Amino acid sequence: MDAGLLAQFVANGLMLGMMYALVAVGFTLFFGVLDVIKFSHGDVLTVGAFTGYSTYLGLKLLGVANPWLQVAAVVIVACAAMALLGALIAKYIVMPLKGAPALNVLLITLMLGTVLRESVRLFYPDGANPKRFPRLLPTDAVALGSFNLRLDSVLLFLGGLAVIVAIHVLINRTKLGLAIRAVAQDEETAKTMGINFTLVVLVTFAIGSAAAAFAGVMNGLYYNEINFGMGLWLGVIGFSAAIVGGLGNIYGAILGGFLFAALQTVGAVALPFASAYKDVFAFAAVIAIMAWRPTGLIAERTSERV
Amino acid sequence: MNAAPRAPLWPGIVAAALVTAFAVAFMWAENEWEVVGVLAAALVAVLVARRTGWLAPAARAFEMREPAMNCVTIAALLVFVAFFHDDHFPLLMVGTVLVYFTVCLGLTIQFGYAGVLNFAAAAFLGTGCYTAAVLSAHTSLPHLLVLAAGGAVAALVGSILILPVLRTRGHYAAVVTIAFGLLFRTFLEVNDTLGGPQGLKLPSMNLLGMTFNDNFIVAGIEFSFYMHYVLAALALAVLAFAVTRRLERSWIGVSLDAIRLDETAAACFGIHLARWKIVAFTLGNFMAGAARALYALMLGFIAPTNFTFGDSLVMVSIILLGGIGNPWGAALAAALVVVLPEKLQLIQEYRFLLYAAMVILVLLYRPEGLLPRPLRNYLPGWRPR
C-alpha cells in the first residue's frame, strides 16, 4: 500500500482514538468513584456538541468574528454547561439509586440518554437533521508526499492530548485527585477521613462530562457535522473501550480508546473488499477480547468477598 | 398439612371482566379526549380499589387459583377479540401485544430468573425474522416449522455469545451483548444478500391449508384476516407462558433463582452455573426468535430499522416496568407500551421520550415495577406472614 494513504489512515485512526479515549476516561472515572456505568455519557456528548454549536450561532449574532475567540468560547461554554449537567445527573439520577442493583443504574442512565437524545431531536430547532458545524480552526495543510497533514487536525489532537494530560495531573498531583482516588478505593474509609463524598462524586461527574463535551466539540470541528444520534455510537464505543481497557483504570481507558480506533482502521485497511464491515469487525474483536480477558486488558484488582 | 381454604374465584373473574370492559371501551374511544378520559377513569378506579382493599381478593384469586384464572384470562381475551372480529386495527394491536409478551417471557427467563443480562434482544428477534423470511421465500417448509426454525436459529446465533457471556459478569456482560446488538444491526445494513437497508418481504402465512392473509367467513360472520394471526400469537403466548410458569415452579426455577441471587452460594450447593445459564439464555432467545418470526409474517415486511438498540431497550423496559420476573407484569407492561402510543397519536412522535421518562420514574420511585414478583410459593396454600 502507498505510504501516504497509510499515513492518512494512521492520522485518522489517531484522531478517532483520541475522541474514544476522552469518552472512555469519563466512563472509567464514574465507575471509579461510584461503581456505576453512566450510559447517558454519549448523549451528554451530543448535548455538548449542540451547546457548542448554539454558542457559535450566538456569537455570530453578537458580531464576534475572530475564529480563535469563537473556538475558545465554544469549548468553554460547552464544557462548563456539560459539567453542570453531569453534576445534576449524578445528584438527581445516579446518587438516589446508590445501592440498587447494577442493572437498575445501567437502565436508568440508558433511559436518561434516550431522553436527552430525543429532546435534542424534538426540541432543538430542526434537530432531526444533521447540522453543519463551522470550520473554526485554520485549515492550512502541509503536503508530505501524497499525505496532507492539516493544521486543524494537529491542533485538535494536541487539544485532546492536553485534556487527557490535565486529567492525569488532576488525578495524580492534586488534593482533589487524592480525594477522588481515595473515594474510588474505599468509600467508607474516605468518609471517615473527612472527605466530602457527595462533593467528590459530583466533581468527578462534572470532570468526566466536560471531557465528553470536549470530545463532542472536537468531533464537530473534525467532521464539520453534528447530529442527534452521534452520541449513542460514540458512547457505546467509549464504553466498550473503557471495558476493554479495564474499568476504573484511566490508562486502560486510553489504551482501549486507541485500540478500538486501531481495530476499526485495521478493519478498513485489511478488509478492502468489505470496508463497510469495519464496525462489525471492531465489535466482534471487542466480544472476543471480553471472552479472552473477562475483566479487561488491565484487569480490575478485586477479590470475591462472600 | 391441612388443605388451606381455597380462595374464592369470583373476585378474579370480576376483575378480568372489568379489565376486558375497559379494554373494549379504550379501543372504542375514537378521539384523543375520549381516550384520555377512559384512561383517567381506569387510573382512578385502580387507585380507589387499592385504597379500599378490593384489589387484594382479585390478586389472591390470581395467585391461589392459577389454572382457573389462566383460563379466565384467555376467555377474557377471546371475548375482547370477538368484539372486534372484523376490525383490523384492534386485532393488529392484540397480536402485537401478544408477540411482545412472548418475547418478554423469553427475557424474563434470562433477566428475571437466571440473571443473565441480554441487551441484544433485537439481534435475536432479527435473527428469527430473517430466518423466517429466507425460509418462507426459498423453501416450501410448513410455516409452523418456519417459526420453530426462526427460534432455533436465534438460539444458535445466541450460542456464539455463550462463552463471553459465561466468562463475564455485570457491566462486562452488558457490553458483550450491547456490542453484539450493534454488530448485528450494522451487519444487516451492509449485507446485500439479506436485502440491506431495504429489508425483505414475507409471504402470507399458511397453516393447514388456510391462507392467513384472506378475510374469512364463519357462520355468516366475516372475520378480519388478522384473526388468524391473533389466534396463532395467542397459542404461542399460551405455550410460552406455560413453559415459563412450569420452569419457574420446577427445581430448575429454584436453581435459576439461586444463581441470580448469589452465584458463589449456588455453586457451593452444587448447582452447575454454566449449564443453567446456557439453558436460560438459549431458551429465552428461542422464544424471542420464534415469536418475532410470527410477527414478521403478520406484518409481511422486515428491515434493519426494526432491530435497533432502541428496540432492545424497549423490550428490557417492558419487563422492568412490569416487574422483573413476573409474567403478568410483563403482560400488563407490554399492553401499555404497545397500545398507548398507537391510540394517542398526539404522543406518537414523543413515544421514545415518554417510555424513557416512564422507566426513569419507575426506577426512582417504584424500582420493583408495577406488579412485583410475589414471593415464591414453596408449599401449596402457604402464605408469607
DSSP per-residue codes, A268-296: HHH-GGGGGGHHHHHHHHHHHHHHHSTTT
Query: pLDDT confidence of A43, banded at 50, 70, 90?
Result: very high
DSSP codes of every residue in A28-56: HHHHHHHS---TTHHHHHHHHHHHHHHHH
The DSSP call for residue A174 is S
d(CA B82, CA B74): 12
Contact B334, B316 (CB under 8 A): no
Write the residue in B171, B179, B310 that is nearest to A247 by C-beta: B171
pLDDT (average), residues A161-186: 89
Which residue is closest to A119 within chain B, CA to CA?
B353
Q: What angle do helix axes B10-28 and B32-52 make, rounded to 10 degrees?
A: 160
pLDDT (average), residues A141-156: 78
Contact A245, A254 (CB under 8 A): yes
Which residue is closest to A111 within chain B, CA to CA?
B356
**Which cell numbers hold the place of B211?**
391462507
Would you say how long chain B is, in residues? 385
On whether any CB of chain B is under 8 Å from the CB of A54, the answer is: no
- Judged on CB neighbours under 10 Å (0-12, 13-18, 19+), A186 is exposed
Query: pLDDT confidence of A184, banded at 50, 70, 90?
Result: confident
Higher pLDDT, A218 or B202: A218
Question: What pLDDT was estimated at residue B216?
Answer: 67
Question: What pLDDT was estimated at residue B217?
Answer: 66
Question: What pLDDT was estimated at residue B382?
Answer: 60
Nearest to A280 by CA among B281, B123, B129: B123
B63-93 tens-digit pLDDT: 777 777 888 888 888 888 777 777 788 888 8
Please judge whether B172 and A296 are an interchain contact, meaning their C-beta atoms are less than 8 angstroms apart: yes
Within 8 A by CB and 6+ apart from B320, the residues are A107, B359, B362, B363, B369
Residues on chain B touching A300 (C-beta within 8 angstroms): none
Please judge whether A277 and B190 are an interchain contact, meaning their C-beta atoms are less than 8 angstroms apart: yes
Chain A: closest CA distance from residue B369 (Å):
11
CA distances from B316 to A42, B168, B254 (A): 20, 20, 23
10 Å Cβ neighbour count for A68? Answer: 10
Please judge whether A294 and B172 are an interchain contact, meaning their C-beta atoms are less than 8 angstroms apart: yes
Please judge whether B170 and A102 are an interchain contact, meaning their C-beta atoms are less than 8 angstroms apart: yes
Write the residue in A110, A122, A276 that is nearest to B313 by C-beta: A110
Contact B354, B347 (CB under 8 A): yes
Residue A115 lies inside a defined structural domain of this protein: yes
On whether any CB of chain B is under 8 Å from the CB of A239, the answer is: yes
Higher pLDDT, B126 or B224: B126
Interface of B with A in 194-253 (CB under 8 A): none
Backbone φ and ψ of A141, nearest 5°: -130, 145
Q: Does pLDDT of B309 surpass 90?
A: no
Within 8 A by CB and 6+ apart from B334, the residues are B97, B100, B101, B104, B318, B322
Q: Does pLDDT of B374 surpass 80?
A: no
Q: Which domain holds residue A190?
A: 7-131+145-231
On whether any CB of chain A is under 8 Å from the CB of B268, the answer is: no
Higher pLDDT, A15 or B61: A15
Nearest to A110 by CA among A39, A181, A51, A171: A39
Please judge whether B174 and A97 are an interchain contact, meaning their C-beta atoms are less than 8 angstroms apart: no
d(CA B120, CA B126): 10
Residue % of chain A over a pLDDT of 90: 22
d(CA A238, CA A28): 10
Residues on chain B touching A108 (C-beta within 8 angstroms): 359-360, 363-364
| Among A85-99, B153-167, B178-192, the least confident range | B178-192
Write the residue in B161, B179, B363 that is nearest to A286 by C-beta: B179
Cα angle B193, B197, B198 (rounded to 5 degrees) comes to 85
Nearest to B81 by CA among B166, B26, B20: B20
Residue A62 lies inside a defined structural domain of this protein: yes
> How many angstroms from the chain centroid is the CA of residue A239?
9
- Give the E-state strand segments of A169-274 in sequence order: 225-226
Question: What pLDDT was estimated at residue B211?
Answer: 67
d(CA A157, CA B145): 56
- Judged on CB neighbours under 10 Å (0-12, 13-18, 19+), B368 is middle
Chain A: closest CA distance from residue B357 (Å):
7
Q: Which of A94, A97, A103 to mutate to test the interface with B (most CBs of B within 10 A)?
A: A103
Mean pLDDT, rounded, of chain B = 82
Question: What pLDDT was estimated at residue B3?
Answer: 47
ipTM: 0.81
On whether any CB of chain B is under 8 Å from the CB of A89, the answer is: no
Question: What pLDDT was estimated at residue B1?
Answer: 41
Q: Name the CA dihedral angle for A197, A202, A208, A209, rounded to a multiple of 10 degrees.
A: 170
> How many angstroms from the chain centroid is the CA of residue A152?
19
Higher pLDDT, B210 or B280: B280
B229-261 tens-digit pLDDT: 888 889 999 999 999 988 988 889 899 999 988
d(CA B286, CA B295): 14
Q: Does pLDDT of B183 surpass 80?
A: yes
Mean pLDDT, rounded, of chain A = 85
DSSP codes of every residue in B134-199: HHHHH----HHHHHHHHHHHHHHHHHHHHHHHHH--HHHHHHHHHHHHHHHHHHHHH-TTTTGGG-
d(CA A22, CA A210): 10
Please judge whether B364 and A96 are an interchain contact, meaning their C-beta atoms are less than 8 angstroms apart: yes
Please judge whether B187 and A232 are an interchain contact, meaning their C-beta atoms are less than 8 angstroms apart: no
Query: pLDDT confidence of B284, banded at 50, 70, 90?
Result: very high
On whether any CB of chain A is under 8 Å from the CB of B346, the answer is: no
Chain A: closest CA distance from residue B356 (Å):
5
Q: How many domains does chain A have?
A: 1
SS3 state at B222: strand
Contact B65, B9 (CB under 8 A): yes
Topology of the domain comprising B88-365: ABC transporter involved in vitamin B12 uptake, BtuC (1.10.3470)
On whether any CB of chain A is under 8 Å from the CB of B169, the answer is: yes
Question: What pLDDT was estimated at residue B305?
Answer: 83
What are the sequence ranges of the domains in chain B? Answer: 1-83, 88-365
A244-269 tens-digit pLDDT: 887 777 888 898 899 888 888 887 77
Contact B301, B201 (CB under 8 A): yes
Please judge whether B316 and A306 are an interchain contact, meaning their C-beta atoms are less than 8 angstroms apart: no
On whether any CB of chain A is under 8 Å from the CB of B366, the answer is: no
d(CA A65, CA A239): 37
Write the residue in B111, B171, B349 that is nearest to A102 by C-beta: B171
Contact A184, A200 (CB under 8 A): no
Residue A2 lies inside a defined structural domain of this protein: no
Write the residue in A107, A118, A296 that is nearest to B363 by C-beta: A107
Residue A176 lies inside a defined structural domain of this protein: yes
Q: Does pLDDT of B385 surpass 70?
A: no
On whether any CB of chain B is under 8 Å from the CB of A299, the answer is: no
A106-127 tens-digit pLDDT: 888 888 988 998 899 888 888 7
On whether any CB of chain B is under 8 Å from the CB of A275, the answer is: no
On whether any CB of chain A is under 8 Å from the CB of B163, the answer is: yes
Cα angle A254, B119, A95 (rounded to 5 degrees) comes to 65
Residue A1 lies inside a defined structural domain of this protein: no
Residues on chain A touching B178 (C-beta within 8 angstroms): 236, 239-240
**Where is mean pLDDT largest: A228-232, B80-84, B286-290?**
B286-290
Contact A51, A222 (CB under 8 A): no
Q: Which residues face A132 on adjacent strands?
A: A225
**Which cell numbers hold the place of B269?**
450447593
The DSSP call for residue B308 is S
10 Å Cβ neighbour count for A196? Answer: 13
What is the pTM assigned to this prediction? 0.85
Please judge whether A291 and B355 are an interchain contact, meaning their C-beta atoms are less than 8 angstroms apart: no
On whether any CB of chain B is under 8 Å from the CB of A232, the answer is: yes
Chain A: closest CA distance from residue B141 (Å):
31
Residue A137 lies inside a defined structural domain of this protein: no
Residues on chain B touching A100 (C-beta within 8 angstroms): 363, 367
d(CA B228, CA B294): 11
